Structure 1
């Protein structure tokens, strides 16, 4: 079998790890840039979306690309999942505890709830792009207004102090089964590790497992991979900060056996 590792022009330390796992399984793998005009997607038995990390600059083109590729080969995760997951308004529809969010659509009046500290970001974003953290309400309003004026949906959230100590808990699921977890420093925390490969493992608590399972049960699709990012609210209850189904870093290079598990799940789906 022949698989495409969908990527971009940039670093990705999981890339060679997964390609090597495919080779061990007797499959041919190739790293292909998602927007490479010369790519022959129909020549692959599956295209596995892994690190197209520049898609955020071309989200509409990326969604169009996903449906086009899916018309000729198996795309994982599916195009409909990628389309929905690349707009964070999906958080409103999951029916699970999430970080409290005030949504402001283009044309709506910009009025903010009272928070000690704000996080303001667009609904279509990744890697904290165009995201600010501020205790200045006027600055938060200005950023939200700039986003909506540009035709974007703004998200306004309270900054949660516990991310400074507990961090985020990322639960990685492969083929619908829990594989491993990591403690991650929030992108806007005061101290963020320079090297994500040094992020320590973490054993999720039972309430975090329960929430992750609830979240994934809301997705009506066959998922090859998923990363469920959780934080704890001030009262200690877990809440979803993001469900990563498009191009999450999966810590394959630092988790023994994870690349092989993903390969086995891929073969099972096919």
Structure 2
């Protein structure tokens, strides 16, 4: 029997049971392990699958060191080099594809109608602010720099309120499904709104961009979520490439959990 660890955190995860059931159907025994449990024996597993490790943000160094250790004793999915690069959003500078315009400093901010300011190491909308005041945006970015964090200053894109964000989900580099996500910084948005999504058929230009992004990653990818928005000219751009702990919207897409389990089985049987 193949035994895999489902690496998580000490908190809620509403996809966990669905994934473990799908693994069981695929002949994989899944055991839940907290990623930072000092007593976990990671070498006892055929693979460790990184999932809801959503508390790593405040201790990224510890998380990256953990991933390196685990990857040295068993198969880690996604692999350590992917996790180390992907947990700092400065990776966006290296993608070589259109991204949301980003200014990486508190100095000489571009003249945009509205600004979104966030740290390069973050999850969700944590420590993220929206403002139409250029001086305030610079102050927020400077505060991040003062705390030793790299700021990201981006224009607020009105199109996300009508178009939304499109997230394309891939398992072992094969497209599974896509969703339209509600904008997290829209006026009046609530936590419930931010968690809401619906299935969407991505446009050909969105699929083309997402797959171009994935070809630039040379490692195994059990899962990937490519988050896209449209720029004012209508062209798609990457807002984030989620390769560490993305929510996968498995409940929305029939068969998605089974596809995820099948991708894991495939990678284990082929060695990549």
For normalisation by structure 1, the TM-score amounts to 0.96
Q: How far 1:213 sits from its partner (Å)? A: 0.9
For residues 57 and 20 of structure 2, the distance between their equivalents in structure 1, rounded to whole angstroms, comes to: 24
Pairing 1:217-232 to 2, within 5 Å after superposition:
217-232=215-230
Runs of 4+ in 1 over 3 A off after TM superposition: 195-198
Pairing 1:176-215 to 2, within 5 Å after superposition:
176-190=173-187, 191-192=189-190, 194=192, 198-215=196-213
Give RMSD over aligned pairs: 1.3
For residues 151 and 108 of structure 2, the distance between their equivalents in structure 1, rounded to whole angstroms, comes to: 11
For residues 188 and 4 of structure 1, the distance between their equivalents in structure 2, rounded to whole angstroms, comes to: 35
SS at match of 1:204: coil
For residues 199 and 144 of structure 1, the distance between their equivalents in structure 2, rounded to whole angstroms, comes to: 30
Q: Quick check: 1:54 aligned with 2:55?
A: yes
- For residues 130-173 of structure 1, what are the alpha-carbon distances to aligned partners after superposition, in whole Å with 9 as ceiling and x for unaligned? 11100111111110111111111111100000111111000000
Question: Are the aligned partners of 1:181 and 1:201 in contact in 2 as well (CA < 8 Å)?
Answer: yes
Pairing 1:91-102 to 2, within 5 Å after superposition:
91-102=92-103
Residue 12 of structure 2 corresponds to which residue in structure 1? 11
Unaligned 5+ residue runs, structure 1?
none
For residues 37 and 94 of structure 1, the distance between their equivalents in structure 2, rounded to whole angstroms, comes to: 35
Question: Are the aligned partners of 1:116 and 1:135 in contact in 2 as well (CA < 8 Å)?
Answer: yes
Residue correspondences, number? 266
For residues 256 and 153 of structure 1, the distance between their equivalents in structure 2, rounded to whole angstroms, comes to: 39
For residues 246 and 215 of structure 2, the distance between their equivalents in structure 1, rounded to whole angstroms, comes to: 19
Q: Quick check: 1:146 aligned with 2:118?
A: no
Unaligned 5+ residue runs, structure 2?
none
For normalisation by structure 2, the TM-score amounts to 0.95
